[in-house]
Amino acid sequence: MTKLIQIGIVGYGNLGKGALLALEQNKDMELVGVFSRRDPSRIKTETKTPVYHISDICKFQNKIDVMILCGGSATDLPKQGPEIARLFNTIDSFDTHAKIPEYFQKMDEAARSNGKTSIISVGWDPGLFSIMRTMTEAILPDGDTYTFWGKGVSQGHSDAIRRVEGVKGAIQYTIPIEGALNRVRSGQRPDLKTGEKHLRECFVVAEEGSDKSKIEETIKKMPNYFADYTTIVHFISEEELKENHAKMPHGGFVIRSGQTERESSQIVEFSLNLASNPGFTSSVLVAYARAAFRLNKEGQVGAKSVLDVAPSYLSPKSNALLRKELL
Amino acid sequence: MTKLIQIGIVGYGNLGKGALLALEQNKDMELVGVFSRRDPSRIKTETKTPVYHISDICKFQNKIDVMILCGGSATDLPKQGPEIARLFNTIDSFDTHAKIPEYFQKMDEAARSNGKTSIISVGWDPGLFSIMRTMTEAILPDGDTYTFWGKGVSQGHSDAIRRVEGVKGAIQYTIPIEGALNRVRSGQRPDLKTGEKHLRECFVVAEEGSDKSKIEETIKKMPNYFADYTTIVHFISEEELKENHAKMPHGGFVIRSGQTERESSQIVEFSLNLASNPGFTSSVLVAYARAAFRLNKEGQVGAKSVLDVAPSYLSPKSNALLRKELL
């Protein structure tokens, strides 16, 4: 039997927990340990996987093939990423779009100088959506690409509401506007402004005695976050928030609407309908961990993005079997 | 300026014509010529591209980087493919699923022994649909993949009807059954038999004086083609057939319905809605011609399928620009 790919997980939040459970579904990989900045004795994993302090990570250099970095893009990955990429092949979900070129550069230097392979910005956006945007633009050069997000929870927007005075708890759903989606699907190639593609639905728990109409107005007028959108605010009880809004669904659509010869309309659509955003994202990370392992074996070192990885690298099946069964 | 990629087209049917027009949309490529088995003086291309007899193809070895093979899978490609793959990098749309492993082997030997690169089975199925099946199965190992075709014209089924006694002309549309699609989209993971996913709608022109009810019965009972499906037969006039059924729309859906941690339902859907099947397929071929050129420059020789090609190879944009704009 082939040796199993030895995996480590760095960071044990929603994404790390998702990766741990996703690895259970992949029989060609084995989880060696979870690494955390917290006190390991206080973390119990569902699968009884050992937890180590992150300061011990260098002791695992000969024991782990790929580290799945599950930290956040704001502060964790810019620091941790290059440090760990010097020691291990890595996968991460760095998603600050504007800073990707800079992050790529740092990861490339770290990984390349030590013969490691790092695949950055893995997930669905950036990730699978990026693949769809790239491929469909290349196939239909005379066309427009539309990305819609949702229906799903936006953590950034939920956090922004929670900072409003008098708000005790809140969640925000980004919802694609059906009419806009249908105009795009019809092949019209409309020019859609930001607020014409999505609406924002907020469920807010107000502090007792607070001014609800003032809270609603503050949310709706918030620049960048809500001012340019149709925003719906519902006030609910704390129980309702816990009961009905604890899940993290998400999804979205990438649509390329283009024209080929004699103005034939061609529409390509890719969509996700996810009951659990961290569950899906971590499953994408795990599939790309397999790719990083293989690319490194082939000597393809340095930083890569999902755009640099051929589909067959994600699958545990041999290329011959893939051609027979799935091509 | 970078030198343009020099392209040749072999075969000038619907696909070859589509490729010629698709190349007009790609400014980094230049069409050198069309090669045909027919008398070149009798073929006029829309773009005034020169047409050569296929027997002259070897004279272009230093002038053409990639040949786009637009012949059929039944007889053209199994013969032409390996011959041309010895001389040029090639792209083809070989789509006899059962014979792909054998064809791959022959193309691999031909291309590899002469330092060329051949990407086989390019298009949407096999092609983009194969990529979706492979990636989504790897990401969601606990899941089921469903492929639906249509609404679109099936040439094979249309031909089968035309062979029925008393039939003067016919066209057959394969139509995905909406109820089945919706069951799959709901995350049910149903076990669907062949005839439960598609229905077959036939538009038939009967010879004068022929027995329409007998024609209808013969069609509906035809084994493999229609017997296992709900089949609808309409009799129409020759004028109606010409007027309303001359186009070649097609499309389809690949849906992966899977479950991640704690049984969260995750649905990935990829769909195509194509006004012109040859127009789209040839646009896919042209994008992969760019990939074949680049792979060959990098020394990646032999046969490949779309599963072996990273998304960035399809785009005229640099990897750095792709990371900045599309990742």
Tens-place pLDDT, residues A100-122: 999 999 999 999 999 999 999 99
Mean pLDDT of B37-51: 93
pLDDT recorded at residue A1: 52
Whether residue B147 has pLDDT greater than 70: yes
Write out chain A residues lying below 8 Å of B290, CB-based.
138
Mean pLDDT of A271-284: 96
Which pLDDT tens digit goes with each residue over B224-270? 899 999 999 999 999 999 999 998 999 999 999 999 977 799 999 99
Mean pLDDT of A77-89: 97
Structure tokens at A282: 């971590």
Query: A94 to chain B: nearest residue by CA?
Result: B327
Cβ of B326 within 8 Å of Cβ of A279? The answer is: no
Write out chain B residues lying below 8 Å of A129, CB-based.
none
Q: How confident is the model at residue B284 (pLDDT cuts 50, 70, 90)?
A: very high
Task: Tell me the shortest Cα–Cα distance from A206 to chain B, in angstroms.
Answer: 30
Interface check for B141 against chain A (CB to CB < 8 A): the answer is yes
Mean pLDDT of B177-191: 96
pLDDT recorded at residue A65: 98
Which pLDDT tens digit goes with each residue over A287-326? 999 999 999 999 999 999 999 999 999 999 999 999 999 9
CA distance A86 to A113: 8
Q: How confident is the model at residue B272 (pLDDT cuts 50, 70, 90)?
A: very high
Phi-psi domain of B20 (left: phi exceeds 0; alpha: psi -120 through 50; beta: other): alpha
**Minimal Cβ distance to B22: which of A126, A137, A261:** A261
Predicted structure pTM score: 0.96
Helical (H) or strand (E) element with B24: helix B14-24
Name residues 144-203 of chain A within 8 A of B (Cβ). 185, 187
Task: Tell me the shortest Cα–Cα distance from B127 to chain A, in angstroms.
Answer: 7
Whether residue A2 has pLDDT greater than 80: no
- Residues with Cβ within 8 Å of B263's Cβ and at least 6 positions away in sequence, in order, are none
Whether the Cβ atoms of residue B94 and residue B100 lie closer than 8 Å to each other? yes
Which pLDDT tens digit goes with each residue over A252-269? 999 999 999 777 999 999
Instruction: State the DSSP string of A103-132.
Output: HHHHHHHHHHTTT-EEEES-SBTTBHHHHH
Structure tokens at B285: 């071929």
Cβ of A274 within 8 Å of Cβ of B266? The answer is: yes
Residue A273 bridge partners (DSSP): A251, B267
pLDDT recorded at residue A23: 97
Portion of chain B with pLDDT greater than 70, in percent: 99
- Per DSSP, A148 falls in state E
Task: Classify burial at B43, counting beta carbons within 10 Å of its beta carbon; exposed 0-12, middle 13-18, buried 19 or more.
Answer: middle
Mean pLDDT of A55-69: 97
For residue B305, the SS3 value is strand
Query: B14 to chain A: nearest residue by CA?
Result: A261
**Average pLDDT over chain A, rounded to whole?**
96
Which pLDDT tens digit goes with each residue over A137-167? 999 999 999 999 999 999 889 999 999 999 9
Q: How confident is the model at residue B1 (pLDDT cuts 50, 70, 90)?
A: low
User: What radius of gyration do chain A's Cα atoms show?
Assistant: 22
Whether the Cβ atoms of residue B291 and residue A311 lie closer than 8 Å to each other? no
Whether the Cβ atoms of residue A211 and residue A204 lie closer than 8 Å to each other? no
Supply the ipTM of this predicted assembly. 0.95
Three-point CA angle B274, A310, A18, nearest 5°: 95
Helix runs in A113-237, H state only? 128-139, 155-162, 178-185, 194-197, 212-221
Distances (CA, A) of B31 to A10, A47, B22, B118, B119: 51, 58, 10, 18, 19
Portion of chain B with pLDDT greater than 90, in percent: 93
pLDDT recorded at residue A263: 79
